Amino acid sequence: EEALQKSKESFQHLLPDGLQTDHHFLLSLSKPDTNESIGYFWYHFDENHPQKEAFIYNFLIFEPYRGQGLGRRALESLEKHVKKQGVKKLSLHVFAHNKRAIHLYQQAMYDITDINMSKDII
């Protein structure tokens, strides 16, 4: 219940004008052969950013379509798409427990730029 409330607050903060929020882009992903929806991207890019960096807030391939190479193809398509906008660097955050995503990003040549660590003290 608390997580849902925090999620709503986060979305309201990041997307105050919903889909019309400046510099935020939400893209639907569809399977090439059938055009069925397989996931989405949400990224932020402000063309005035000095390093021309875009940040991927969310990238999701729906469960039935995972493990088929579609995530890799989606990232390649996103790179081509943002390059046309003038993006020179794509960044994102991935949780350490999400081994599948880490593997995908490393295959796509993303570099680890930061590591947070924690320890539960019981």
Instruction: Judge whether residue 28 has pLDDT over 80.
Output: yes
What is the architecture of the domain spanning 17-107? 3-Layer(aba) Sandwich (3.40)
User: Residue 118 has what pLDDT?
Assistant: 75
The Cα 77–Cα 10 span in angstroms is 27
Higher per-residue pLDDT: 101 or 115: 101
Question: What pTM was computed for the model?
Answer: 0.85
Burial class (CB within 10 angstroms; exposed 0-12, middle 13-18, buried 19+) of 91: middle
